[in-house]
């Protein structure tokens, strides 16, 4: 898979005109569709490695397109959404979208998100056993975390939370996804648990918890572990 | 410790003079800086419902002037008042003169006297309006009056019989004079004349010696008769004048009081509908007539409250000129009668505000003695309507000018701030497309410029959209309990990802509680405040502090910039307000967005001067609701 195939489903021509050359220039193969119907048909016929999906399509709700694609494919879907639509973002992520980009976005941001999403499929569910950088070292096999060479003691819940974020490999995780994974079913309402444990993780693993470099907050959506910072 | 001053009591009934009592009580209470209490005693007798209403009106009026209200029930006025006086240890009691009918019943039997006898440690002040008090009404010259007259004459003949008579008229005359004067006072002129004739006859036949001499033409008898007649005439004339005066005084008092009450009630009306309701209610009470206000609407009338009392009214263009002439052919005060109703023009200072339509409940129409008061009512109503119209006009003018100002600043801001980056982008893209070689560094410069300027555009548009949505209520605040640390982290992260490290010193105390807020919105507030601080004090250190107090959590963003002049500290949160020396960047929306967001959270934001220079923006968010329970096992 040297040149992954990316399908763009976006009705605004200006944006397509920006996306197609940007992605082609990065040696991706690019397909584009201007309507939901066309996009779904192309997804079925070409089976792309990644879909860039705009939520505001003229003929159909983007969310329905996402559901349709998810009914037969596990390939990454990155949502393009307008600002201030956190609810839609969360809904899309909980429906199985892999990530989102808020318009307007720059080329660098777009390519970074696409890389993360594609990396995720390549590595499937298995993350590297040892992640180490920025002073933090996480050994998933030995369940050991250290900061600047010193072992950091994490409680069982803190470790599970860290593990859930590491496993997402840089993708955003919504509050409800993390709550379900770490606290199990029934924990969904307790977002503040998640926030408190996140704060404790930051205090143990960030140099300055008010300027987190690794544990990034996506307000009203969820969290993402910035692996690029870890790997630098 | 000085004891609190003892209160002043004012006894109120339903009479019009209660207004004077209220004013006197209010004045006395103010002079002595004592509290005052308005008391109404319900004596349990059958009370007219109108009286009850009137009492309510007076009590409300007293309450408005700061009185405490007491309503007590007691068998007599005196008993009720003395109970309240004792209970409140009042220093003074004000009451009007009692309305006992008989003069002798007043002496020693008035409520005031009775109160005195009860030995109260209180000064009792009777508001004396007896000089204009009204004498008892004339009783009709019916059968009972006749019997009364005859009994009085019989009684005084008996008395006269006892007087030693040596043919001396001087001793008998005063007895009969007194009787005739009394009859004139009590039963009027007719019976008084009859009584003088009768007493002359009685005198000549019964008392003159020798008795039954029938010497009626005897000159002392004639003299006697004339004296009687003159006395009766004089008494009757005097009484009539007195009564007229008294009635006039009372009428004026009632007029003054009812006008005063109408004026007060109208002053509280906020809409033409309320003015109409108030006017109708007062007219019904004072004139026993139905009423409504009519406003011209094209070629018909709109009635408030509907419906119009007489639908057959001529159209406004015909009726109004006739009404506005004002002076009628007969009495200038007489209202224009149309069908069964009367119409009065509601003319304010400059133009007609509408028409007052009156439908008297009885078939006799409106008696002339109430025309004057009705005209005065119409003027009051017209002025109230006019006041509302002017208020509305002033409000509209203000809204207009505000909208106009907004529009021009918005156009100015958008005109300048949208065009500048657009021009730069357009120009840069154009020069990149020109044929010929462009050096790599120039290319880079132009592209960076396109990127920067489009970001500026996006930022400006985002702000405009945010503010519009916040102001229209389209953004709903999703409050969730969360640590402030996290939102500070995401705000700083968002800014530093864009522009590298910021010199912000963060000071968060340990154990800061969770607070309920919308992370996206509060992040926006912090980003806006930090961006401002950075813009006005580039490169200098900024401080971000948080602390809590019961019920509130506070955030402060402080800079070492030039500070904000005192005159601007309130206005700086308004839309499109920029400091005069602010120069480039920003359209004056950032702080307006901050304020809208903080207010949507139920919080407050302000700016103050920072000790040592610079400004300090402080916002407080309420810790409302119950914080969620901490997770088990957490520290």
Q: What is the pLDDT of residue B324?
A: 54
Confidence of residue B98 (pLDDT cuts 50, 70, 90): low
Q: Is the pLDDT of residue A51 over 90?
A: yes
Q: Is the pLDDT of residue B633 over 60?
A: no
* More reliable by pLDDT, A28 or B207: A28
* More reliable by pLDDT, A11 or B405: A11
Q: H-helix or E-strand containing B541?
A: none
Q: How far apart are CA A60 and CA B153, in angstroms?
A: 112
Q: What is the pLDDT of residue B595?
A: 92
Average pLDDT over residues B151-160: 81
Q: Which residues of A touch B628 (CB under 8 A)?
A: 190, 192
- CA nearest neighbour of B460 among B427, B424, B421: B421
Pick A219's closest partner by Cβ from B458, B520, B635: B520
Are B196 and B231 contacting, i.e. CB atoms less than 8 angstroms apart? yes
Q: At what angle do helices A107-122 and A13-25 cross, to 10 degrees?
A: 60
Q: Is the pLDDT of residue B140 over 60?
A: no
CA distances from A76 to A4, A47, A53, A165, A173 (A): 12, 11, 10, 17, 14
B490/A209 CB distance under 8 A: no
Q: What is the pLDDT of residue B331?
A: 54
Distance from CA of A27 to the nearest CA of B (A): 22
Going by the DSSP 8-state scheme, the letter that residue B573 receives in this structure is G
Q: Is the pLDDT of residue B135 over 50?
A: no
Q: What is the pLDDT of residue B319?
A: 72
pLDDT winner (highest mean) among A23-32, B61-70, B462-471: A23-32
- The residue to which tokens 């308005």 are assigned: B38
What are the pLDDT digits (tens) for B72-87?
A: 888 888 888 888 888 8
Q: What is the pLDDT of residue B100?
A: 46
* More reliable by pLDDT, B364 or A97: A97
Weakest-pLDDT range from A21-35, A147-161, B113-127: B113-127
Weakest-pLDDT range from A153-162, B205-214, B437-446, B589-598: B205-214
What are the pLDDT digits (tens) for B330-373?
A: 455 667 777 777 888 887 777 778 888 888 776 566 677 777 78
Q: What is the pLDDT of residue B137?
A: 43
Q: Is the pLDDT of residue B99 over 70?
A: no
A211/B466 CB distance under 8 A: no
Q: Is the pLDDT of residue B475 over 50?
A: yes
Distance from CA of A200 to the nearest CA of B (A): 9
A200/B635 CB distance under 8 A: yes
Q: Is the pLDDT of residue B113 over 70?
A: yes
Distance from CA of B629 to the nearest CA of A (A): 9
For chain A, list residues whose CB is within 8 angstroms of any CB belonging to chain B.
Answer: 83-84, 86, 104, 106, 155, 157, 190-193, 195-200, 202, 208-212, 216-220
Q: Which residue out of B518, B631, B633 would a mutagenesis test of the A interface target, given it has the greatest number of A Cβ atoms within 10 Å?
A: B631
Q: What is the pLDDT of residue B283?
A: 86
Whether residue A165 is preceded by a cis peptide bond, meaning omega within 30 degrees of 0, is: no
Q: What is the pLDDT of residue B101?
A: 44
The sheet with strand A222-225 has its strands ordered as A173-174, A222-225, A215-218
For chain B, list residues whose CB is within 8 angstroms of any CB belonging to chain A.
Answer: 451, 454, 458, 462, 466, 469, 475, 478, 480-483, 485-490, 492-493, 496, 506, 508, 514, 518-520, 523, 628, 630-631, 633-635
A217/B487 CB distance under 8 A: yes
Q: What is the C-alpha R_g of chain A?
A: 18
Q: Which residues of A touch B634 (CB under 8 A)?
A: 193, 196-197, 200
Q: What is the pLDDT of residue B332?
A: 55
Tokens representing B384 are: 């109230």
Average pLDDT over residues B91-100: 73
Q: Which residues of A touch B469 (CB under 8 A)?
A: 84
Q: H-helix or E-strand containing A132?
A: strand A130-133
Weakest-pLDDT range from A190-199, B258-267, B569-578: B569-578
Domain boundaries, chain A: 5-122, 130-231
Confidence of residue B133 (pLDDT cuts 50, 70, 90): very low
The 10 Å Cβ neighbour count of residue B271 is 11
Are A176 and A223 contacting, i.e. CB atoms less than 8 angstroms apart? no
Q: Which residue out of B421, B486, B495, B633 would a mutagenesis test of the A interface target, given it has the greatest number of A Cβ atoms within 10 Å?
A: B486
What are the pLDDT digits (tens) for B201-257?
A: 777 776 665 554 555 456 666 777 787 778 778 877 888 888 888 888 887 888 888
Q: What is the pLDDT of residue A124?
A: 52
> Does domain B480-622 fall into CATH 3.30.565.10?
yes
Q: Is the pLDDT of residue A186 over 60?
A: yes
Whether residue B210 is preceded by a cis peptide bond, meaning omega within 30 degrees of 0, is: yes
Q: How far apart are CA B197 and CA B191, in angstroms?
A: 10
- The residue to which tokens 């250190």 are assigned: B541
pTM of the model: 0.54
Are A194 and A179 contacting, i.e. CB atoms less than 8 angstroms apart? yes
Q: Classify residue B585 as left (phi > 0), alpha (psi -120 to 50) or beta.
A: left
Beta strands in B402-551 (DSSP E): 480-482, 504-507, 515-517, 542-549
Q: What is the pLDDT of residue B134?
A: 38
B506/A193 CB distance under 8 A: no
Weakest-pLDDT range from A184-188, B412-416, B608-612: B412-416
Tokens representing B261 are: 């009450």
A104/B475 CB distance under 8 A: no
Q: Which residues of A touch B493 (CB under 8 A)?
A: 211-212, 216-217
Tokens representing B495 are: 């800014």
B488/A192 CB distance under 8 A: no
Sign of CA dihedral B174, B179, B180, B182: positive
Confidence of residue B23 (pLDDT cuts 50, 70, 90): confident
Q: How far is CA B430 from the centre of its chain?
A: 68
Confidence of residue B311 (pLDDT cuts 50, 70, 90): low
Q: What is the pLDDT of residue B439?
A: 86
Q: Which residues of B touch A199 (CB under 8 A)?
A: 483, 485-486
A106/B451 CB distance under 8 A: yes
Distance from CA of B621 to the nearest CA of A (A): 18
Are B310 and B341 contacting, i.e. CB atoms less than 8 angstroms apart? yes
* More reliable by pLDDT, B569 or A229: B569
Distance from CA of B499 to the nearest CA of A (A): 14
Residue of chain A whose alpha carbon sits nearest to that of B491: A211
Q: Is the pLDDT of residue B287 over 90?
A: no
Q: What is the pLDDT of residue B515?
A: 93
Q: Which residue out of B482, B487, B504 would a mutagenesis test of the A interface target, given it has the greatest number of A Cβ atoms within 10 Å?
A: B482
Which ipTM value was assigned to this complex?
Answer: 0.84
In sequence order, the 6+-apart residues with CB closer than 8 A to the CB of B573 are B591, B592, B594, B595, B605, B607
Q: What is the pLDDT of residue B139?
A: 45
Confidence of residue A161 (pLDDT cuts 50, 70, 90): very high
Q: Is the pLDDT of residue B163 over 80?
A: no
Tokens representing A42 are: 């192309």
Q: Is the pLDDT of residue B66 over 90?
A: no
A195/B486 CB distance under 8 A: yes
Q: ∠B488-B492-B493 over CA atoms, to 5°? A: 110
Alpha helices in B163-218 (DSSP H): 169-187, 189-202
Q: ∠A214-A145-B511 over CA atoms, to 5°? A: 65
Distance from CA of A106 to the nearest CA of B (A): 9
Distance from CA of A47 to the nearest CA of B (A): 34
What are the pLDDT digits (tens) for B421-462?
A: 888 899 889 888 888 887 888 889 999 889 888 888 888 888
Q: Is the pLDDT of residue A182 over 60?
A: yes
- Give the right CATH number for B8-132 from 3.40.50.620, 1.10.645.10, 3.20.20.80, 1.10.375.10: 3.40.50.620
Pick A195's closest partner by Cβ from B475, B482, B518: B482
Distance from CA of A192 to the nearest CA of B (A): 6
Tokens representing B438 are: 């462009």
Pick A220's closest partner by Cβ from B506, B508, B519: B519
Q: What is the pLDDT of residue A31?
A: 94
Q: Which residues of B touch A216 (CB under 8 A)?
A: 490, 493
Distance from CA of A37 to the nearest CA of B (A): 30
CATH number assigned to the domain covering A5-122? 3.40.50.2300
Domain boundaries, chain B: 8-132, 151-243, 480-622
Q: How far apart are CA B246 and CA B268, in angstroms?
A: 33
| Beta strands A99-102; A77-81: pairing state | parallel
Distance from CA of B506 to the nearest CA of A (A): 7
Q: Which residue out of B451, B484, B485 would a mutagenesis test of the A interface target, given it has the greatest number of A Cβ atoms within 10 Å?
A: B485
Q: How far is CA A106 from the centre of its chain?
A: 17
Q: A170 in helix, strand or coil?
A: coil
CA distances from B334 to B320, B337, B369, B372 (A): 16, 9, 10, 8
CATH class of A130-231: mainly alpha
């Amino acid at each position: 898979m040297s040149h992954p195939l990316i399908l763009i489903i976006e009705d605004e021509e200006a944006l397509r005109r920006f996306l197609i050359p940007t992605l082609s220039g990065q040696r991706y193969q690019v397909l584009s569709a201007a309507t939901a119907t066309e996009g779904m048909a192309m997804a079925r016929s070409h089976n792309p490695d990644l879909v860039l999906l705009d939520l505001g399509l003229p003929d159909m709700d983007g969310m329905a397109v996402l559901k349709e694609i998810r009914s037969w494919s596990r390939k990454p879907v990155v949502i393009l959404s307008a600002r201030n639509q956190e609810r839609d973002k969360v809904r899309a992520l909980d429906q199985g979208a892999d990530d989102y980009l808020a318009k307007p976005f720059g080329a660098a941001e777009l390519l970074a998100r696409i890389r993360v999403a594609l990396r995720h499929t390549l590595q499937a569910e298995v993350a590297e056993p040892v992640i180490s950088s920025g002073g933090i070292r996480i050994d998933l096999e030995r369940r050991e975390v250290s900061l600047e060479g010193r072992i950091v003691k994490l409680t069982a819940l803190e470790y599970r939370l860290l593990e859930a974020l590491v496993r997402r490999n840089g993708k955003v995780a919504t509050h409800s996804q993390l709550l379900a994974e770490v606290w199990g079913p029934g924990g969904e309402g307790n977002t503040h648990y998640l926030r408190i444990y996140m704060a404790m993780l930051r205090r143990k693993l960030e140099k300055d918890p008010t300027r987190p470099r690794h544990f990034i907050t996506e307000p009203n959506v969820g969290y993402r572990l910035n692996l690029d910072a870890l790997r630098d | 410790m000085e004891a609190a001053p003892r209160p002043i009591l004012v006894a109120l009934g339903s009479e019009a003079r209660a207004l004077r009592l209220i004013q006197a009580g209010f004045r006395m209470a103010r002079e002595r800086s004592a509290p005052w209490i308005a008391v109404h005693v319900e004596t349990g007798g059958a009370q007219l419902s109108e009286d009850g209403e009137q009492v309510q009106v007076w009590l409300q009026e007293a309450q408005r002037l700061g009185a405490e209200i007491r309503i007590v029930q007691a068998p007599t006025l005196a008993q009720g008042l003395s109970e309240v006086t004792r209970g409140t240890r009042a220093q003074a009691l004000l009451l009007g003169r009692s309305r006992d009918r008989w003069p002798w019943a007043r002496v020693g039997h008035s409520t005031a006297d009775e109160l005195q006898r009860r030995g109260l440690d209180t000064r009792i002040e009777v508001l004396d309006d007896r000089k204009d008090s009204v004498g008892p009404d004339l009783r009709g010259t019916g059968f009972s009056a006749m019997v009364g007259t005859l009994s009085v004459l019989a009684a005084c003949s008996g008395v006269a019989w006892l007087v030693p008579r040596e043919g001396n008229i001087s001793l008998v005359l005063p007895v009969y004079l007194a009787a005739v004067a009394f009859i004139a006072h009590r039963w009027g002129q007719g019976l008084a004349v009859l009584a003088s004739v009768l007493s002359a006859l009685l005198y000549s036949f019964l008392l003159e010696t020798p008795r039954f001499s029938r010497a009626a033409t005897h000159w002392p008898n004639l003299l006697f008769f004339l004296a009687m007649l003159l006395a009766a005439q004089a008494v009757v004339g005097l009484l009539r004048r007195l009564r007229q005066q008294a009635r006039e005084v009372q009428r004026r008092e009632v007029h003054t009081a009812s006008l005063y009450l109408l004026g007060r009630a109208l002053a509280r009306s906020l809409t033409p509908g309320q003015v109409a309701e108030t006017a109708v209610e007062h007219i019904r009470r004072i004139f026993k007539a139905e009423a409504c206000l009519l406003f011209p609407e094209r070629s018909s009338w709109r009635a408030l409250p509907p419906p119009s009392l007489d639908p057959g009214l001529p159209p406004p263009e015909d009726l109004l000129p006739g009404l506005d002439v004002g002076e009628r052919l007969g009495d200038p005060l007489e209202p224009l009668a149309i069908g069964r109703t009367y119409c009065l023009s509601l003319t304010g200072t400059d133009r007609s505000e509408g028409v007052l339509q009156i439908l008297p409940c009885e078939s006799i129409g409106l008696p002339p003695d109430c025309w004057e008061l009705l005209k005065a009512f119409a003027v009051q109503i017209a002025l109230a309507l006019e006041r509302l119209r002017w208020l509305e006009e002033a409000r509209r003018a203000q809204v207009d000018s505000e909208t106009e100002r907004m529009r021009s600043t918005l156009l100015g801001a958008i005109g300048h701030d949208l065009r500048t980056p657009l021009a730069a982008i357009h120009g840069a893209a154009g020069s990149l497309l020109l044929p010929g070689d462009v050096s790599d560094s120039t290319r880079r410069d132009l592209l960076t410029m396109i990127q920067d300027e489009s970001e500026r555009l996006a930022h400006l548009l985002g702000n405009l959209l945010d503010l519009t949505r916040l102001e229209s209520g389209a953004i709903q605040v999703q409050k969730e309990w969360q640590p402030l640390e996290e939102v500070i982290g995401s705000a700083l992260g968002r800014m530093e990802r864009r522009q590298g490290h910021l010199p912000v010193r963060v000071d968060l105390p340990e154990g800061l509680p969770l607070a309920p807020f919308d992370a996206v919105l509060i992040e926006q507030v912090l980003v806006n405040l930090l961006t401002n601080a950075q813009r006005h004090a580039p490169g200098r250190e900024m401080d971000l502090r948080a602390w809590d107090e019961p019920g509130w959590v506070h955030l402060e963003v402080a800079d070492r910039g030039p500070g904000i002049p005192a005159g601007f500290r309130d206005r700086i949160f308004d839309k499109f307000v920029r400091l005069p020396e602010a120069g480039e960047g920003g359209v004056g929306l950032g702080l307006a967005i901050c304020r809208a967001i903080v207010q949507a959270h139920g919080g407050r934001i302000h700016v103050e001067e920072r000790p040592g220079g610079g400004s300090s923006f402080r916002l407080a968010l309420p810790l409302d609701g119950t914080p969620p329970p901490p997770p088990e096992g957490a520290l």
